[in-house]
Amino acid sequence: MSMMEGGMAPQTPSNRARVRIDSTLNSMQKPEDVNYREAETPDVSCGNCMNFDGAHSCAAVAGEIDSAATCDLHDPGGMPAPPQEASLS
């Protein structure tokens, strides 16, 4: 059955993340429930996620969100994270 005939789209990692998020939009997730943590690399940071609005908030996770953090709902495809500045200590 095709999409035009009412079939479902194939499940990809990105689709699965969106499905999880879509099902939670009516009740924002608590950071501790989605394993909110410091990102190991900018590639997987909130700053590089489709759910991050660029102003410290997320479409899926409640509260103030740090662009250098990440969680289990990370969905790449947002704006690339800004390069991190080296410490001058």
Provide the domain limits for residue 72.
29-80
pLDDT tens profile 14-35: 544 554 555 545 578 999 999 9
The verdict on residue 38 lying in a domain is: yes
pLDDT tens profile 38-62: 999 999 999 999 999 988 999 999 9
The verdict on residue 2 lying in a domain is: no
Which residues have CB under 8 Å from 74's CB, separation 6+?
A: 17, 44, 45, 46, 49
The verdict on residue 21 lying in a domain is: no
The verdict on residue 35 lying in a domain is: yes
> Model-level pTM greater than 0.95?
no
The verdict on residue 4 lying in a domain is: no
The verdict on residue 89 lying in a domain is: no
Q: How many domains does the chain have?
A: 1
- Per the CB < 8 A criterion, the answer to whether 27 and 33 are in contact is no
pLDDT of residue 27: 72
The verdict on residue 53 lying in a domain is: yes
Measure the CA–CA gap between 64 and 70, rounded to whole angstroms: 12
